[in-house]
Amino acid sequence: MRNSPLAATLVRTACALVIGLSVLMTASDGSSHEPDADEIALGSLIDAELAFARMGAERGIREAFLANFADNGVVFEPAPVRLRETWSARPPPADPHAQKLEWKPAQAGVARSHDFGYTTGPYTLTSTAQPAAPRRGVFFSVWRKDGSGRWKVLADFGISTPNAVDFAALGEAPRPHFSGPAHVERERRALLDRERDKANPEGFTPNAYGLLLATNARLHRNQYSPVVSRGAVSADMARRMSHVTWTPIDAIVAPSADMAVTYGRYRETDHAAAMHDGYYAHLWLRDAGGRWHLAYDIAVPAG
């Protein structure tokens, strides 16, 4: 997940500004107001992420991740594995605090059903063996409430970055706008078909890729700060590749069918015809007209 099988998988972030949290406390004119259902759900998700981070600091990374992941929750190492199953089979570290992982959410969003959402922000991983050489990056997590109403992580993916990322400069977090009827399984199949795109065996060209993007789409790639906006992401991908194919492993759609995550394997062909393989996670958001748009594109190379 975080670039090396364990360390890169375990990394989250030091300080962050939670963009949009002001809505939880003030109305647009600065006066206080009672939070509505959307704000309450967003606040509970952010509280879950903050509690996860506190547990990591107090009890160590392994225990915190095992406690906060859903039974079928996946982590990318870089291939997706079920965290609880995989990590439980590994021996615990001799010193649970040999690595210090610090993070806070910088952006978050929830589905209209209030039981599905995402968080993202910068992370810092410090090793007691090399305290002067911290690793930095950006995490991205998708959450869903379990049967008891507790938020659990469904998917956790991270990239490394050269420096700490200032999320305040990235603008407001993307959010869905769809409020129509929810046909979850139909939309799940539609997203899988869209990513497979059997009509175009060579995959998506930069132009076709650009048509999938949300206006405020974000691109997360190793060793780069996140790229923001449809125009900037399209230009960056046009520079990187001539076409890309996706082989989805799964798609999980919110009960309100306005937010979804897909993940799987990609193959990107650059302008010199060289192929690059790896793993991706996509967060899709639905607009008021019911159209799905790619809001977050996160990917890491296979090796």
Q: What is the pLDDT of residue 131?
A: 85
Q: Is the pLDDT of residue 211 over 80?
A: yes
Q: Do domains 8-170 and 184-301 have the same CATH topology?
A: yes
Contact status, residue 161 vs residue 138, Cβ threshold 8 Å: yes
Q: Rounded CA gap, 28 and 116, in Å? A: 26
User: 105-152, pLDDT tens digit by residue?
Assistant: 999 999 999 999 999 999 999 998 888 889 999 999 999 999 999 999
Q: Is the pLDDT of residue 13 over 60?
A: no
Contact status, residue 226 vs residue 138, Cβ threshold 8 Å: yes
Q: Please state which of the ranges 23-32, 81-90, 256-265 shows the lowest mean pLDDT.
A: 23-32
Confidence tier at 255 by pLDDT (50, 70, 90): very high
CB neighbourhood size of 174 (10 A): 21
Sequence spans of domains, the chain: 8-170, 184-301
Q: Is the pLDDT of residue 7 over 80?
A: no
Q: What is the pLDDT of residue 31?
A: 55
Q: What is the pLDDT of residue 9?
A: 41
Q: Is the pLDDT of residue 3 over 50?
A: no
Overall average pLDDT of the 209-234 stretch: 97
User: 56-93, pLDDT tens digit by residue?
Assistant: 999 999 999 999 999 999 999 999 999 999 999 999 99
Q: At the top level of CATH, which class does the domain 184-301 belong to? A: alpha beta
Q: What is the pLDDT of residue 199?
A: 82
Q: What is the pLDDT of residue 2?
A: 41
Confidence tier at 234 by pLDDT (50, 70, 90): very high
Q: Rounded CA gap, 261 and 222, in Å? A: 20
Q: Is the pLDDT of residue 29 over 60?
A: no
What is the percent of the chain with per-residue pLDDT over 90, rounded to a whole number?
84
Contact status, residue 105 vs residue 17, Cβ threshold 8 Å: no
Q: What is the pLDDT of residue 30?
A: 52
Q: What is the pLDDT of residue 303?
A: 77
Q: Is the pLDDT of residue 226 over 70?
A: yes
Q: What is the pLDDT of residue 4?
A: 39
Topology of domain 8-170 in CATH is Nuclear Transport Factor 2; Chain: A, (3.10.450)
- Between the alpha carbon of residue 121 and those of residues 129, 212, 247, the distances in Å are 25, 23, 27
Overall average pLDDT of the 26-41 stretch: 71
Contacts of 10 (CB under 8 A, 6+ apart): 1, 2, 61, 65, 99, 101, 125
